[in-house]
Amino acid sequence: MTFIAKPKIAHPSLPRNPLGMTRRDYEGALSTLCAGCGHDSITAAVVEACWELAIEPQNLVKLSGIGCSSKTTAYFVNGAHGFNSVHGRMPSIAMGANAANRNLHYIGVSGDGDTLSIGLGQFCHAIRRNLNMLYIIENNGVYGLTKGQFSASADVGSKAKKGETNFQPPIDAVLLALTLGASFVARSFSGDKEQLVPLIQAGLKHKGFALIDVLSPCVTFNDHEGSTKSYAYTREHYEPAIHTDFVPLQQAITAEYAAGATLPVVLHDGSRIVLRKLDASYDPTDRAACAATIQERLKEEEYLTGLLFFEPGQPEFHDLNGTPEGALNAVPYEALSPGSAGMQKILARYR
């Protein structure tokens, strides 16, 4: 953390988005995380993504549970709505908020402890309901806030800072999400913003549950030799399989892609995601094959990264439940109140 706040002064030629806002306008409060924490980089990536998408801050909802990761919602987009919930219960709060107002962007930030231990059930059910939100796991393999115990995502054989080895197998959020039917499953690394920023943009624009499991080294308790989630280890063992380019609605696709290796996908609002295969044998549309390949590569101690599985067009929570079109607070009184005649009819049903 730092003791002085980031000064308000900015680069004189800082670019502005269509709303007239600079990147700096999407920042939040001063981070109190350790200096060098991967989470702060993810925060910066979220800031960058929201700025580029020109999201109006009042149309963004930030949700989190408990843990180092869950503190970070305070560090981006000051003007957004925020809810810091009970440990592991963020998906419930997101559920409720989303049910009440489907027109906002929902971004949940959670950690490996918050998601894969105490909140595992909530996480699974949010996927099952295909809740329209971006769910970011800031995954560092340790409980940083309680001084570095192994978390449920710690790999077998990984060494803690004090030297003990982890023997329990990890829960892999990506594999879990694939088996639960998630339609947008990605893995990334806090140290690779070129990959992470477009993923966050795509995730925010994806209709339905979007998961990004971000490897985010804990610089204080899990950045040593023997750790499988350190900066050095992650850089050596991470393998981008699919690169995602997010192309906003107004913009033409300018990059040239080799035929056969790209997969452009048009999203519901007309913006596009272009998946670029870095690993020719990898098919991000075949759920079973994806799961198998990811698992295989994990055994070889390799993290495949990128938008690993993508299946747009799945019905999300509101589609499945036939909820009203707009936000509940915008439903007119006439529609909400049956009137005295209508009330009589309803009561008659119970007589």
Partner 1 sequence: MHPTDTSHPDYFHKVVDCQWACPAHTDVPEYIRLIAQGRFTDAYMVNRQSNVFPGILGRVCDRPCEPACRRGRVEKKPVAICRLKRVAADYRDDVTSLLPKIPRLKNGKHIACIGAGCASLTVANDLMPLGYEVTIFEQYAEPGGLMRTNIPAFRLPQQVLGDEIGMILDMGVDLKLNHPIQSLRALLKDDRYDAVFIGSGAPQGKELSLPGRSEGAANIHIGIAWLGAVAFGHLDKIGERVLIIGVGNTAMDCCRTSLRLGAQRVKVMARKPRSFFKASAWELEDAEEEHVEIVVNRVPKSFVVANGRLAGMLFDKMEYDIDADGRITAERVVSEEFEAADDVILAIGQENAFPWIERDLGIEFDQWNVPLVDLKTFQSTQPGIFFGGDAAFGPKNIIWAVEQAHQAAISVHKHCQGEPISERLGPGMNLQSRKMGMHEWSYANDYTPFERRLMPHVSLKERFKKLDIEVELGFTAEQVAAEAQRCLNCDVQTVFDAKLCIECDACIDICPVDCLTITANGEEAELRTRLKAPALNTAQALYVSRALPQTGRVMVKDEDVCVHCGLCAERCPTAAWDMQKSYVHWPLAVDEARAAIEREPKIA
User: Per CB under 8 A, does 226 bind partner 1?
Assistant: no
Residues 44-83 touching partner 1, rule: CB under 8 A, are 44
Site string for partner 1, 295-334 (x = CB under 8 A): ----------------------------------------
Q: Of the candidates 26, 28, 40, 74, which one interacts with partner 1 according to CB under 8 A? A: 40
Cα 14 to Cα 27, 181, 197, 199: the distances in Å are 14, 41, 18, 23
Residue tagged 């594999």 (tokens): 175
Contact segment (CB under 8 A) with partner 1 among 29-37, 111-119, 291-299, 302-310 equals 29-37
Residues 192-221 touching partner 1, rule: CB under 8 A, are 193, 217, 219
Q: Of the candidates 10, 86, 328, 330, which one interacts with partner 1 according to CB under 8 A? A: 10
* Other CB atoms within 10 Å distance of the CB of residue 211: 29
User: Per CB under 8 A, does 7 bind partner 1?
Assistant: yes
Q: 134 and 90 in contact (C-beta within 8 Å)?
A: no
Strand partners, 83: 63
In whole angstroms, the minimum distance from the beta carbon of 230 to partner 1 comes to 8
Q: What are phi and psi of 213, to 5 degrees?
A: -90, 110
Residue tagged 């180092």 (tokens): 68
Q: 114 and 120 in contact (C-beta within 8 Å)?
A: no
Q: Considering beta carbons, is residue 15 or 332 the nearer one to partner 1?
A: 15
- What is the C-alpha to C-alpha distance for residues 198 and 210, in angstroms, rounded to an integer? 13
Q: Of the candidates 16, 147, 235, 345, which one interacts with partner 1 according to CB under 8 A? A: 235
Q: Of the candidates 25, 26, 28, 38, which one interacts with partner 1 according to CB under 8 A? A: 38
Q: Position 333: which residue type?
A: Y
- What is the C-alpha to C-alpha distance for residues 144 and 161, in angstroms, rounded to an integer? 11
User: Per CB under 8 A, does 43 bind partner 1?
Assistant: yes
Contact segment (CB under 8 A) with partner 1 among 61-69, 189-197, 238-246, 300-308 equals 189-197
User: Per CB under 8 A, does 2 bind partner 1?
Assistant: yes
Q: How many residues bind partner 1 (CB under 8 A)?
A: 33
Residue 213, token pair as written in the block: 């499991």
- What is the C-alpha to C-alpha distance for residues 198 and 244, in angstroms, rounded to an integer? 6
- 90-100 helix and 120-128 helix, angle to the nearest 10 degrees: 30
Q: Of the candidates 41, 98, 130, 153, which one interacts with partner 1 according to CB under 8 A? A: 41
**Under the rule (CB under 8 A), what is the footprint of partner 1?**
1-4, 6-14, 23-24, 34-38, 40-41, 43-44, 190-191, 193, 217, 219, 223, 231-232, 235
